[in-house]
Amino acid sequence: MTDADFSLAIHGGCGVLPRATIPAAFAADVRAALAASLDAGATILRAGGSALDAVEAAVVVMEDAAVFNAGHGAAFNAAGGHELDAAIMDGRTLEAGAIAGARAMRNPIRVCRAIMASGDFLLLQGDGADDFARQKGFAIVPQDYYGTEQRRQMLAEMKALAAQGATARANEAQKHGTVGAVARDRHGNLAAATSTGGYTNKPVGRIGDSPIIGAGTYANNATCAISATGKGEFFIRKVLAHEISARIAYLGQDLDKAARDLVLVELPEWKSGAGLVGVDRSGNVTMPYNTEGMYRGVVTSRRPAQVAIFED
């Protein structure tokens, strides 16, 4: 890599449908959406645009795609509604913006960016977040914009499993789902963005790791940018993304080593399904996951866009 190279890595969550049962048409939709997301981000980066613009654009595409659990396609909570979490962070300034428990904004990551720009506050929840989106002129949608038939079916399945005390038997797609992007631009700046509907049948009001700076989302030009997916409560307890940054900064580990130690060794000890995408200051990318698969993609100035679901 040279200083003028760029990198973009994205994920559509480690909550993939089981390999044995994933419909071919669904997998094709996933691959197309991942490719469109990479293209949106790479177009910006190729032209010398900012990592921040690139991760926002990449995430917007995945929020709008029905196949991912974020924006349109968000998971249903226990009350049959949708509450969205998201965050964006600028590795150059360590500025960030985030929303939690939002119920009406169409594109949470755009609103996060506007919150970051506002400067005064960083994280808004509930009606306060949606009112901010309204005041700033962002697209507002009814709750049923988020739901899809597939997600409604997952809610019914999860409620049935919960009634049997058997939520442990849920598949990864029923439990997880998030989208995220990390980038390093041609100027050496890093950024991270994450957006999610949380897990299916989550309690009303539950906030996961995605909007928590240092847990599911983090970017710092001195170290790395991270966007995580999986059982968020564990990531909050590990302060996952900042922990990776700290091991790079203070132990001299490289990004891949730090990320793999957490995702492939330490989080499995807690029985936590987990995955992440990360990029370091030199543009090196890592995409570890400990689940059956992770919807993901990567493109750099030296490597054509590639998308994947399983180890294929």
Which residues are tagged catalytic? 178
Q: If 0-12 CB within 10 Å is exposed, 13-18 middle and 19+ buried, where does residue 165 land?
A: exposed
Q: Does 129 bind a copy of itself (CB under 8 A)?
A: yes
Smallest gap from Cβ 259 to a copy of itself, in A, equals: 16
Considering only 202, 260, 281, 296, the residue that binds a copy of itself (CB under 8 A) is 202
Considering only 233, 254, 256, 261, the residue that binds a copy of itself (CB under 8 A) is 233
Smallest gap from Cβ 236 to a copy of itself, in A, equals: 5
Q: What angle do CA 279, 284, 285 make, to 5 degrees?
A: 55
Q: Does 212 bind a copy of itself (CB under 8 A)?
A: yes
Smallest gap from Cβ 72 to a copy of itself, in A, equals: 23
Phi first, then psi: give them for residue 238, nearest 5 degrees.
-85, -10
Considering only 4, 47, 94, 265, the residue that binds a copy of itself (CB under 8 A) is 94
Is the Cβ of residue 23 or residue 127 nearer to a copy of itself in the bound state?
127
- Here the tokens at position 242 are 């900042």
Smallest gap from Cβ 113 to a copy of itself, in A, equals: 15
Smallest gap from Cβ 157 to a copy of itself, in A, equals: 18
Distance (Å, whole) CA 55 – CA 27: 23
Distance (Å, whole) CA 222 – CA 25: 41
* Number of residues counted as binding a copy of itself (CB under 8 A): 42
Q: Does 190 bind a copy of itself (CB under 8 A)?
A: no
**CB-based contact 264:276 (threshold 8 Å):** no
Is the Cβ of residue 31 or residue 257 nearer to a copy of itself in the bound state?
257
- DSSP bridge pairs for 194: 87, 180
Q: Does 121 bind a copy of itself (CB under 8 A)?
A: yes
Kindly calculate the radius of gyration of the chain based on its CA atoms and give it in whole angstroms.
17
Residues 6+ apart with CB under 8 A from 166: none
- Here the tokens at position 304 are 């054509």
Distance (Å, whole) CA 39 – CA 62: 12
Is the Cβ of residue 17 or residue 98 nearer to a copy of itself in the bound state?
98
- Here the tokens at position 70 are 């974020």
Contact residues toward a copy of itself (CB under 8 A) are 94-96, 100-101, 120-129, 131-132, 202-208, 212-215, 218, 232-233, 236-239, 242-243, 246-247, 249-251
